Structure 1
Amino acid sequence: MILHRERRVLAALLLSVLLLTTACAPKAPGRFDQAQKESTQQKSGQAVTKKATQGSEFNKVFPSASGGYQRVYTQEKKGFAEAKLKKDGKDVAMLSISDTTSTPDAAAKFSKSTKKIGGYPAVEQGKTQTAILVGKYQVKVLSRISSFTASDRADWIEKFNLNALAKLK
């Protein structure tokens, strides 16, 4: 009986030592650890300038839902606001306004524009995006389905209250 008790104590002791040594062993770095370290140390491109307009100000100039379309706001933060455009329950486009103060390169692409929408310089980005520059604000419409064409995107850009957007500071 004493021998049986000693075996239990010895087994418990060995199990404790095993757990202690494996728990204290250094952990091998995961495959994403280096990327995480680099992204958290990176300073450029992370902050929005203090001069950027609050996203809630942009909501006032978004087009109203009409013609069987629904507008659903999806994101609002300093310098940016976005809404989905839905029809028959499907996402057909994304509408957005961004303050280019924090990203001056975003505004540079309009300098060579020969196209205008609503009197403002416009650019096509790929086959699914149309954008204009209103002062320091970029208004963009992205197609989510192939039947929502460049012409549709231009029409929806003109539905924004561009005059009110131009007056924002």
Structure 2
Amino acid sequence: MTLTRGRRILAALLISVLLLTSACSAKTPGRFDQAQQESSRQRSGQAVAKNATQGSKLNKFFPSGGDGYQRVYTQEKKGFSEANLKKGGKVVAQLAISDTTSTPTAAAKFSNSSKKVAGYPAVTLGNTQTSILVGKYQVKAISKDPTFTASDREAWLEKFDLNGLARLK
């Protein structure tokens, strides 16, 4: 009887020592640890500038719906506001305004632009995105449906209250 009791105590002691040593050992880095560190380091340099415009202040410059289109706000945060443009219940485009104070490279891409939309420098990215720079604000129209063409994007960019946005500080 005392032999089995001794074995139980010894087994419990060995398990405790095993758990203690494995819990205190240094953890070997996993395959995703380096990627996580790089991602965190990149994000820390991309914080939103303190003087970036609040997203709620940008909403009033968006065009309203009409002609079968409906504007639905989807995101609003400091320095950014976004809305979907729907037609027949389907998202055909995404409209956005972003404050380039936090991302100066976004504004820099307009410096070599020879194209203009509504008198503002414009850039086309691929076949789906057209952007203009209005003061410190980038205004984008992104096609989400093939029926929403580059000329549609430009027409909707012109519907924004661009003069009001240009006066916003």
TM-score by length of 2: 0.86
Q: Give CA deviations for 1:36-94 in whole Å, capped at 9, x if unaligned.
A: 33444458742333332221111111111223333222222222111222233333221
Matched, 1:165 2:162: no
Is the deviation greater in 54-63 or in 105-114?
Answer: 105-114
CA 1:30/1:124 → structure 2, altered by over 3 Å: closer, same or farther? same
Matched, 1:36 2:32: no
Matched residue, 1:3? 3
Gaps of 5+ in 2: none
SS state at 1:29 partner: coil
What is the rounded CA distance, in whole Å, between the counterparts of 2:160 and 2:93 in structure 1?
14
Q: How many residue pairs get matched?
A: 169
Deviation at 1:6, TM superposition (A): 1.6
Matched residue, 1:130? 130
Is the deviation greater in 149-158 or in 77-86?
Answer: 77-86
SS state at 1:9 partner: helix
Matched residue, 1:102? 102
State the percentage of identical aligned residues. 72
What is the rounded CA distance, in whole Å, between the counterparts of 1:73 and 1:86 in structure 2?
11
Matched residue, 2:72? 72
Gaps of 5+ in 1: none
CA 1:128/1:39 → structure 2, altered by over 3 Å: closer, same or farther? same
Is the deviation greater in 51-60 or in 62-71?
Answer: 62-71
TM-score by length of 1: 0.86
SS state at 1:18 partner: helix
Is the deviation greater in 119-128 or in 62-71?
Answer: 62-71
